[in-house]
Structure 1
Amino acid sequence: MPVLVVIGAGPRGTGLLERIAANAPELLGPGVELDVHLVDPHPPGGGRIWRHAQSPLLRMNSMAEDVTMFTDERTTMDGPVRPGPSLAEWAADPAAHPPYRPAEDEEVAAELRALAPTDFPTRRAQSGYLDWVLRRAAGELPDNVRLFVHRDTARRITGDPDGPQRVHLSDTVLLADRVVLALGHLDSAPGPDTAEPRAFAARHGRTYLPPAFTADADLSGLAPGERVVVRGLGLAFVDLVALLTEGRGGRFTPRPGGGLRYHPSGREPVLYAGSRRGVPYHAKTGYRLQGPPPPFPRYFGPDLQLPDEQVDFRRDLWPAMAKEIGFGYYHELFHGHPERTALPWAEFLAAYDRHPWDSPERVDLVAAAVPDPEDRVDLERLDRPLTGLRVGSPAELQQHLRAHLRADLARRSDLRHSADLGAFYALLSLYGHLVHLLPAHPLTARSTAAHLDGWWAGFFSFYASGPPGFRLEQLLALSDAGLLHFLGPELRVDLDEEHGTFRASSPALPGHHVHGTALVDAFLPRHALDRTDDPLLRQLLREGRIDEERLTDPDGHVYRSGLVRTDPDARLIDPALGHRPHPRRTALGAPTTTRAPAAFARPRTDAPSFRQNDAVARRLLAELQKEG
Structure 2
Amino acid sequence: MIRIAMIGGGPKCLFALLELNDVLSDNEAQTVQVDVYDPYPPGAGRVWNTTQPNELRLNVNSRIIDASSSLCDQTFNEFRNNALQGTTDEVFPPRALVGEYLSEQFQRLVQHGKLPVTHRASAVHKVERQAGQWLVTSDSWYDLYDEVVIATGHGLAGYQHEQKSATTITAAELTVERSADAQHKVPDRSTVRIRGAALTAYDVVMTLTEGRGGQWAPSEDGTPGRLRYVPSGKEPRLMTMLSRHCIPMTPKPMGLPTQAQDILHNYRLQLRQWSNTSEHHTEQMWRILLACAMDIAGSAGVPANEESLKQTVDNGRSEQFSTLASPFEQMRYTLDAHRGLKPQTHEWVWAIVWSGLYSELVTALARYQWAPADRKKFNAAATNLERMAFGPPEPTAQKLLALYDAGMLQHQTSGTEHTGGVLTIDAVTAPPGVLAAAFPDGEPANELISSLLSAGEVKIRTGERGLLTDADGTCINAEGSRNETLSALGRPTEDPTLGHDTLNRTLHLEYRGWARRIMAQVNARSQKVAN
TM-score when normalising by structure 1 = 0.68
Residue in 1 aligned with 2:48? 50
What is the aligned counterpart of 1:131 among 94, 103, 110? 103
Residue 13 of structure 1: how far off its partner (Å) = 0.2
Residue 373 of structure 1: how far off its partner (Å) = 3.7
Q: How does 1:480-495 map to 2 (within 5 A)?
A: 480-487=405-412, 491-493=413-415
Equivalent-residue separation in structure 1 for 2:36 and 2:59 (angstroms): 28
Residue in 2 aligned with 1:240? 204
Residue in 1 aligned with 2:150? 181
The answer to whether the Cα contact below 8 Å between 2:191 and 2:236 also exists between their aligned partners in 1 is no
Q: How does 1:87-98 map to 2 (within 5 A)?
A: 87-94=76-83
Matched, 1:260 2:221: no
Q: 1:82 to 1:288 in 2, by over 3 A?
A: farther
Residue 270 of structure 1: how far off its partner (Å) = 0.9
Which residue identity does 2:468 align to in structure 1? R
Which residue identity does 1:397 align to in structure 2? A
Residue 528 of structure 1: how far off its partner (Å) = 2.0
Gaps of 5+ in 2: 437-441, 527-531
What is the aligned counterpart of 1:323 among 276, 291, 296? 291
The answer to whether the Cα contact below 8 Å between 2:71 and 2:108 also exists between their aligned partners in 1 is no
Residue in 1 aligned with 2:332? 406
Q: Look up the SS of the partner of 1:586 in the other structure.
A: strand
Q: Look up the SS of the partner of 1:301 in the other structure.
A: helix
Q: 1:485 to 1:182 in 2, by over 3 A?
A: closer
Residue in 1 aligned with 2:392? 467
- Which of the pair has the greater relative contact order for Cα pairs under 8 Å at 6+ separation? 1
Residue in 1 aligned with 2:60? 62
Which residue identity does 2:452 align to in structure 1? L
Residue in 2 aligned with 1:585? 486
The answer to whether the Cα contact below 8 Å between 1:2 and 1:627 also exists between their aligned partners in 2 is no
Residue in 1 aligned with 2:23? 23
Q: 1:92 to 1:165 in 2, by over 3 A?
A: same
Residue in 2 aligned with 1:544? 455
Equivalent-residue separation in structure 1 for 2:138 and 2:241 (angstroms): 43
Equivalent-residue separation in structure 1 for 2:138 and 2:316 (angstroms): 48
Equivalent-residue separation in structure 2 for 1:125 and 1:416 (angstroms): 36
Equivalent-residue separation in structure 2 for 1:173 and 1:371 (angstroms): 63
The answer to whether the Cα contact below 8 Å between 1:325 and 1:423 also exists between their aligned partners in 2 is yes
Residue 171 of structure 1: how far off its partner (Å) = 4.4
The answer to whether the Cα contact below 8 Å between 2:29 and 2:116 also exists between their aligned partners in 1 is no
Q: 1:318 to 1:139 in 2, by over 3 A?
A: farther
Q: 1:374 to 1:422 in 2, by over 3 A?
A: closer
Residue 190 of structure 1: how far off its partner (Å) = 6.2
Q: Look up the SS of the partner of 1:120 in the other structure.
A: coil
The answer to whether the Cα contact below 8 Å between 1:397 and 1:486 also exists between their aligned partners in 2 is no
Residue in 2 aligned with 1:119? 91
Equivalent-residue separation in structure 2 for 1:17 and 1:31 (angstroms): 11
Q: Look up the SS of the partner of 1:626 in the other structure.
A: helix
Residue in 1 aligned with 2:248? 280
Matched, 1:442 2:369: yes
Residue 245 of structure 1: how far off its partner (Å) = 1.7
Equivalent-residue separation in structure 2 for 1:424 and 1:492 (angstroms): 26
Q: 1:423 to 1:624 in 2, by over 3 A?
A: farther
Q: Look up the SS of the partner of 1:594 in the other structure.
A: coil
Q: Look up the SS of the partner of 1:22 in the other structure.
A: helix
Equivalent-residue separation in structure 2 for 1:470 and 1:437 (angstroms): 33
Residue in 2 aligned with 1:617? 515
Q: 1:402 to 1:281 in 2, by over 3 A?
A: closer
Equivalent-residue separation in structure 1 for 2:217 and 2:455 (angstroms): 56
The answer to whether the Cα contact below 8 Å between 1:289 and 1:422 also exists between their aligned partners in 2 is no
| Cα shift readout 1:237-264 (whole Å, capped 9, x = no counterpart) | 2111112222333322223514222223
The answer to whether the Cα contact below 8 Å between 1:69 and 1:133 also exists between their aligned partners in 2 is yes
Equivalent-residue separation in structure 2 for 1:283 and 1:228 (angstroms): 24
Residue 209 of structure 1: how far off its partner (Å) = 5.1
Which residue identity does 1:433 align to in structure 2? E
Residue in 1 aligned with 2:429? 524
Residue 612 of structure 1: how far off its partner (Å) = 1.5
Equivalent-residue separation in structure 2 for 1:385 and 1:519 (angstroms): 27
Equivalent-residue separation in structure 1 for 2:144 and 2:242 (angstroms): 51
| Cα shift readout 1:79-134 (whole Å, capped 9, x = no counterpart) | xx99944322221124xxxxxxxxxxxxxxx5x75330x43110101001111332
Residue in 2 aligned with 1:355? none
Residue 58 of structure 1: how far off its partner (Å) = 0.6
Equivalent-residue separation in structure 2 for 1:222 and 1:472 (angstroms): 23
Q: 1:407 to 1:428 in 2, by over 3 A?
A: closer
The answer to whether the Cα contact below 8 Å between 1:284 and 1:466 also exists between their aligned partners in 2 is yes
Residue in 1 aligned with 2:9? 9
Residue 23 of structure 1: how far off its partner (Å) = 1.9
Equivalent-residue separation in structure 1 for 2:67 and 2:470 (angstroms): 24
Residue in 1 aligned with 2:467? 564
Residue 44 of structure 1: how far off its partner (Å) = 1.1
Q: Look up the SS of the partner of 2:155 in the other structure.
A: coil
Q: How does 1:143-292 map to 2 (within 5 A)?
A: 145-160=115-130, 163-187=132-156, 191=160, 194=162, 207-208=167-168, 214-216=175-177, 218=182, 220-256=184-220, 257-258=222-223, 259-264=226-231, 265-275=233-243, 278-287=246-255, 290=258
Residue 231 of structure 1: how far off its partner (Å) = 4.4
| Cα shift readout 1:410-431 (whole Å, capped 9, x = no counterpart) | 3334599999999756534643
Which residue identity does 2:63 align to in structure 1? E
Q: 1:164 to 1:190 in 2, by over 3 A?
A: closer
Equivalent-residue separation in structure 2 for 1:624 and 1:169 (angstroms): 27
Equivalent-residue separation in structure 1 for 2:23 and 2:352 (angstroms): 29
Residue 614 of structure 1: how far off its partner (Å) = 1.0
Q: 1:325 to 1:622 in 2, by over 3 A?
A: farther
Q: Look up the SS of the partner of 1:404 in the other structure.
A: helix
Q: Look up the SS of the partner of 1:215 in the other structure.
A: coil
Q: Look up the SS of the partner of 1:247 in the other structure.
A: helix
Equivalent-residue separation in structure 1 for 2:71 and 2:352 (angstroms): 24
Residue 306 of structure 1: how far off its partner (Å) = 6.9
Residue 372 of structure 1: how far off its partner (Å) = 6.3
Equivalent-residue separation in structure 2 for 1:422 and 1:373 (angstroms): 11
Equivalent-residue separation in structure 1 for 2:349 and 2:88 (angstroms): 25
| Cα shift readout 1:197-250 (whole Å, capped 9, x = no counterpart) | x6xxx5xx7x34577685348465445454444443221121111122223333
Equivalent-residue separation in structure 1 for 2:74 and 2:360 (angstroms): 25
Residue 623 of structure 1: how far off its partner (Å) = 2.0
Q: Look up the SS of the partner of 1:261 in the other structure.
A: strand
Q: 1:90 to 1:586 in 2, by over 3 A?
A: same
Which residue identity does 2:484 align to in structure 1? P
Residue in 2 aligned with 1:75? none
Residue in 2 aligned with 1:478? 403
Q: 1:83 to 1:416 in 2, by over 3 A?
A: farther
More divergent stretch after superposition (242-251 vs 165-174): 165-174
Q: 1:470 to 1:378 in 2, by over 3 A?
A: same
Equivalent-residue separation in structure 1 for 2:354 and 2:516 (angstroms): 29
The answer to whether the Cα contact below 8 Å between 2:348 and 2:388 also exists between their aligned partners in 1 is no
Gaps of 5+ in 1: 72-80, 95-109, 331-365, 496-500, 503-514, 552-558
The answer to whether the Cα contact below 8 Å between 1:65 and 1:89 also exists between their aligned partners in 2 is no
| Cα shift readout 1:139-172 (whole Å, capped 9, x = no counterpart) | 6744xx32223223333333357x3333334444
Equivalent-residue separation in structure 2 for 1:190 and 1:423 (angstroms): 28
TM-score when normalising by structure 2 = 0.79
Equivalent-residue separation in structure 1 for 2:92 and 2:286 (angstroms): 32
Equivalent-residue separation in structure 2 for 1:57 and 1:370 (angstroms): 35
Q: Look up the SS of the partner of 1:88 in the other structure.
A: helix
Q: Look up the SS of the partner of 2:152 in the other structure.
A: coil
Equivalent-residue separation in structure 2 for 1:34 and 1:407 (angstroms): 56
